[in-house]
């Protein structure tokens, strides 16, 4: 800009008007020369300011059009409209699938209410037994959490929002977007400290800490550039033993069944690969003083992914005996884990109630196979109470069992592919 101005002055000095009105050896002519120069500078700077002001104004308008409501804002009218939109999505899904319907409804609602309000509505519908919303809200919530960060929010602030519904979807989405920036190990340690010490402090959101640790595992795989050993380094930054195990479990979720990306090795590979990975798992990755088995997270991840493999196509109307066959199949997979069989079974126990859709007879059977049946049944009954149903009453209404269905005789549908085969640069097995 300065060069342009100097060139302008140089050119003006050759104009005839200067020869006519400016006599160089007088003080008055020098004053006029400075005044003219000042006028030119003012015109240039004014034009520059106007252009930039208009540019900033247009950016602000664009940003405003994309902005979400303040995190503390709640609006009952908007939340009511959001519930209607969710029910419309459910109705539309009966004639044609629309994977983004709930996501678009969330984005619309978040212009005027908090994520806490949005997920309150989702949770209320799930508690009333709405399987459609329960099935679809996790991926939509992932995207919303990512959008929240990509629209300008600080991820280290967004992660503190005490929101645990839809299996921690919002938290995971925040960490998704943060991971795309490829945070360093130092930055990963700062985020781990937030998960360890700043989230999940209230009783109502106690699971938030678990989702935060698990989300760090999802993020570790992305931030590391799909490097498993580097992912373990990131999980090792967590100060809590349970947190480190949930983090490794999250790594495996991201490898085999990521929520937001058209990639992933696919659930069909978990039975073949996970027993081998856990057997060859690095043993020296934990921080000094850690007491857990270094393979703990690997075994937990296997239990979760086996559950997803067996239940991904479960129908709400499936007969009890067929669900029991699925349980038998799950237990057979955990037996492949060698030293990790019991840890794998414990993870199945945690996943039973939400994945088997509150079928009392099937869940009662599943709990009988786990290490602590009483603890398992207490958890299942608690799930039933949350949706105002009586587990014991429903169990007593079940007709006497017919002939058992062996899981080996059931024709299982192959799980869908998540991404193009080989899109991940190296499998974990190849890295170990």
* pLDDT-flagged residues of the chain (< 70): 1-66, 162-164, 202-206, 260-264, 399-402, 418-426
Q: Which domain holds residue 356?
A: 310-409
* pLDDT at position 52: 47
**Neighbour-count burial for 274-292, b at 16+ CB within 10 Å, e otherwise:** bbebbeebeeebbeeeeee
- CA distance linking residue 62 with residue 84, whole number of Å: 28
pLDDT of residue 205: 64
Q: Has residue 17 been placed in a domain?
A: no
Q: What is the pTM of this model?
A: 0.77
Q: Can you list the positions of beta strands (E) in 224-368?
A: none
In a domain, 39, yes or no: no
Find, among 268, 314, 265, 300, the residue nearest to 427 by Cα.
Answer: 265
Contact predicate 310/356, CB 8 Å: no
Cβ–Cβ under 8 Å, residues 172 and 149: no
Half-sphere exposure of residue 5, counting CA atoms within 13 Å on the CB side? Answer: 14
What pLDDT is attached to residue 353?
75
Q: What is the pLDDT of residue 402?
A: 64
Question: pLDDT, tens digit, for every residue of 99-126?
Answer: 789 999 999 999 999 888 898 899 889 8
Answer whether 137's CB lies under 8 Å from 164's CB.
no
Residue 66 lies in a domain: no
Q: Are 200 and 207 contacting, i.e. CB atoms less than 8 angstroms apart?
A: yes
- What total number of domains does the chain contain? 1
pLDDT of residue 268: 85
Residue 328 located in a structural domain: yes
In this structure, is residue 221 part of a structural domain?
no
Does residue 97 belong to any structural domain of this protein? no
Give me the pLDDT at residue 428, please.
85
Is residue 36 one of the residues assigned to a domain? no
How far apart are the C-alpha atoms of 428 and 280, rounded to whole Å?
10
Tell whether the torsion through CA atoms of 54, 58, 61 and 67 is positive or negative.
Answer: negative
Q: Mind listing the pLDDT tens digit for each residue in 66-97?
A: 578 887 888 999 999 999 999 999 999 888 87
What is the predicted pLDDT for the residue at 169?
86
Q: Look at residue 267 and tell me if it is in a domain.
A: no
pLDDT at residue 130, as a whole number? 83
pLDDT at residue number 192: 95
């Amino acid at each position: 800009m300065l060069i342009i101005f100097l060139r302008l002055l140089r050119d003006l000095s050759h104009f005839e008007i200067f020869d006519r009105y400016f006599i160089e050896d007088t003080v008055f002519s020098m004053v006029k020369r400075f005044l003219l120069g000042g006028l030119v500078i003012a015109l240039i700077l004014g034009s520059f300011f106007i252009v930039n002001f208009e540019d900033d104004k247009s950016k602000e308008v664009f940003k405003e059009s994309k902005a979400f409501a303040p995190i503390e804002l709640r609006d009952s009218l908007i939340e009511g409209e959001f519930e209607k939109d969710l029910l419309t999505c459910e109705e539309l899904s009966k004639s044609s699938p629309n994977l983004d319907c709930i996501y678009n409804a969330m984005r619309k609602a978040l212009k005027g209410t908090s994520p806490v309000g949005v997920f309150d509505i989702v949770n209320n519908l799930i508690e009333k037994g709405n399987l459609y919303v329960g099935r679809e809200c996790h991926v939509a919530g992932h995207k919303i959490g990512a959008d929240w960060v990509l629209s300008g929010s600080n991820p280290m602030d967004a992660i503190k929002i005490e929101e645990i519904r839809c299996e921690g979807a919002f938290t995971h989405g925040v960490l998704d977007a943060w991971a795309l920036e490829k945070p360093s190990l130092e930055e990963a340690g700062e985020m781990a400290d937030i998960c360890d010490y700043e989230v999940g402090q209230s009783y109502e959101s106690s699971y938030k800490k678990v989702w935060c640790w698990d989300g760090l595992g999802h993020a570790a795989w992305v931030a590391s550039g799909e490097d498993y050993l580097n992912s373990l380094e990131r999980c090792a930054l967590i100060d809590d033993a349970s947190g480190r195990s949930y983090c490794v479990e999250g790594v495996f979720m991201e490898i085999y069944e990521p929520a937001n990306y058209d990639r992933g090795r696919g659930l069909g590979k978990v039975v073949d690969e996970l027993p081998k990975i856990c057997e060859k798992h690095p043993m020296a990755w934990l921080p000094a003083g850690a007491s857990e088995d270094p393979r703990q997270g690997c075994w937990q991840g296997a239990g979760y992914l086996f559950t997803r493999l067996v239940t991904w196509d479960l129908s709400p109307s499936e007969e009890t005996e067929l669900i029991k066959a699925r349980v038998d199949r799950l237990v057979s997979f955990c037996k492949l884990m060698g030293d990790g069989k019991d840890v794998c079974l414990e993870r199945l126990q945690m996943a039973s109630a939400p994945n088997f859709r509150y079928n009392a007879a099937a869940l009662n059977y599943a709990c009988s196979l786990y290490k602590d049946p009483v603890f398992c049944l207490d958890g299942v009954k608690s799930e039933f109470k949350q949706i105002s149903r009586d587990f014991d009453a429903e169990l007593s209404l079940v007709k006497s069992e017919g002939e058992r269905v062996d899981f080996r005789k059931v024709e299982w549908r192959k799980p869908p592919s998540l991404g193009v085969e080989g899109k991940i640069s190296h499998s974990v097995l190849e890295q170990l």
